[in-house]
Amino acid sequence: MKKVKAAHVRLDEKFATAICGNDILSSTLYVSGIAIIFAGVYAPIVFLLVALVLYLYKSVYTEVVEALPVNGGAYNCLLNGTSKSLAANAGIMTLLSYVATAVISAKVAVEYLNSVIGHIPVIPATIVLLALFGLLVIGGIKDSARVALGIFIFHIVTLFGLLIMGAVFALNNNGFFIENLQHTTSILTNQGGLLKALLLGFAASLLGVSGFESSANFVEEQQRGVFRKTLRNMLLGVAFFSPLITLVVLNSLSFEAISHAKDFLLADTAYAVGGSIFKTILALDAFAVLSGAVLTSFVGVSGLMQRMAADACLPNFFSKQNKNGSFSRIIIFFFFLCTSILLVTNGELLSLAGMYTISFLGVMSLFAFGNMILHETRTELKRTYKAPRLFVVIAMLATTVGIVGNILIDPNNLLFFALYFIPCAVVVYGVMNQEMILKTIINRLPSDNALRRALEWKFKRVISGRYIIFLRNMHRLFPTIEYLVRNENNYNLTIVHCGKHERAQDDKGYQRLKTIIPALQDAGVHPYLKIDTLYKKASFGPEIIAQVSEELEVPKNRILIGSIHHSHNFDYDQLGGVRIIF
């Protein structure tokens, strides 16, 4: 274990920004065309609205993730604020978002490269690209981040080049903006007016903010204070580049050309303002940055699935690290999942695009919902920042409108999302409720049945794990036991009480605890639970948590505590990933 911890690398601002920035800024390669199709010359206004939504979400994410800086994003937020079941739904949607990001980005990257080189077998090359980035992440996050930084710098330079050439083109040519302004009138008529056009354009263009949630999924790999900076940097990137690049496109190409080349729009824009050489440069940049989005997917899904496996939402098989500190089993599984979906769809990724949009907008909406829940259920939780309640509400409403808008654009989007979500939910809920499932099957089998004996052995292993609860206030005892019964399979519980006395019998609080527990069990309150107690002469904090975790051989994510208050002289991230339940 010590070697694994030694290999753990904390990323600084530039590396962390590069990893998630490649994801969110890769959208500039296709999202301008989407906005123009719906809103015409008003597309830059749409992107300013999108940037406003990101500004609101910056507050939402900053509050929650800095208070609970553990990998998992919306999943971790809801796990510490509500129930495990609701958190699992957020985890599934995040996983689906990463699958869609990886497959779509890899395939479009190969197609951009194919537009320059030609004769590339797109599907096999996409699989090779996925495999290469999977191997890169298995090799360690530090090397992955260095590659991401190189890609990110190249992309920023290329986008600035496009803006400069677009400005020169506008000064020396009449351009197509006036023509596109006139064409916008017919667009508004077809869409049912300006307001509806802006609504649909806004909903479709929210595809361009995917990646904003990625930083929260690998926050444990970032240095303290970096997370807030990654959000700021992503916001600035979207707010600056998306509206300006859309203006360049509107002035450089006719609406007919934009509609024809909306999937590879910036390549044609680069040709219009800079010729064939610049088109080649932009196509290579597109290949690189979309590949960077693939890398982001692998990094983000590693943090998410490891956390879900540690919390028994996924098989424990996925929680093992290699000598480089990477979760190679997760990476291999994710690669095969992406490859299988690519082969099943034969590269026709419209279904994934629908799943993609609803998934990540659902994740962001759930994150805002989790923020509001934490305000109610974890009022005493130590926070470095508190988002204005109005910001949280408007942010949630905005992404909810985005989900509804995407369903209105194409009702099949909801169907495609359900086709992927339901099988994943069956697996996750099967793991979470394996104790109940095994018990039901065992009770239906004859006592001398070989399968029954095998399942009984499995059942004993499932319930043999132990949870630890640090408890001081006795009025929290019954709600805590109820939480454990509702959310976990395990029947063994140790309640730890920290006090100032040398001897346990001198501590009145601990003696009361020792009296209450037998009374609860005699009264038939969850009699199948095996509850024992432990007294420690110590102050509650990172040291005693680490000591008890090692002494009882229980991982820290199975330690349940109350909220960290501002009176505590330590922060949540020093506790090693324990779960807050009250």
- pLDDT class for 482, splitting at 50, 70, 90? confident
- pLDDT class for 350, splitting at 50, 70, 90? low
| Alpha-carbon gap, residue 108 to 287, rounded angstroms | 8
- pLDDT class for 262, splitting at 50, 70, 90? low
Q: Quick one: angle between helices 350-377 and 84-117, nearest 10? A: 150
**pLDDT digits 0-9 by tens, 172-228:** 988 899 898 888 887 777 777 888 888 888 988 887 787 788 888 788 888 888 999
Query: What is the reported pLDDT for 3?
Result: 41
Q: Are 239 and 54 in contact (CB under 8 A)?
A: yes
The count of other CB atoms within 10 Å of the CB of residue 55 is 16
Q: What angle do CA 287, 27, 113 make, to 5 degrees?
A: 15
> In the chain, what is the straight-line distance between the N-terminal and C-terminal CA atoms, in Å?
30
Tokens of 332: 């291999």
Q: Is 177 exposed, middle or buried (0-12, 13-18, 19+ CB in 10 A)?
A: middle
| C-alpha dist (Å) from residue 142 to 11, 145, 339, 488 | 8, 5, 25, 35
Q: Are 562 and 582 in contact (CB under 8 A)?
A: yes
The count of other CB atoms within 10 Å of the CB of residue 72 is 30
Amino acid at 72: G
Tokens of 418: 């359900």
Query: What is the reported pLDDT for 263?
Result: 64
Q: What is the mean pLDDT of residues 79-86?
A: 86
| Alpha-carbon gap, residue 499 to 539, rounded angstroms | 7
- pLDDT class for 4, splitting at 50, 70, 90? very low
CA nearest 97: which of 326, 418, 352, 286?
Answer: 352
Query: What is the reported pLDDT for 548?
Result: 93
- pLDDT class for 452, splitting at 50, 70, 90? confident
Decide: helix, strand or coil at residue 373: helix
Q: Please give the model's pTM, rounded to 2 decimal places.
A: 0.85
Query: What is the reported pLDDT for 1?
Result: 40
Q: What is the mean pLDDT of residues 286-293?
A: 88
- Residue 527 pLDDT greater than 90, yes or no: no
Q: 């979470």: which residue's tokens?
A: 432
Mean pLDDT over each residue of the chain, to the nearest integer? 86
Q: What angle do CA 421, 424, 426 make, to 5 degrees?
A: 110
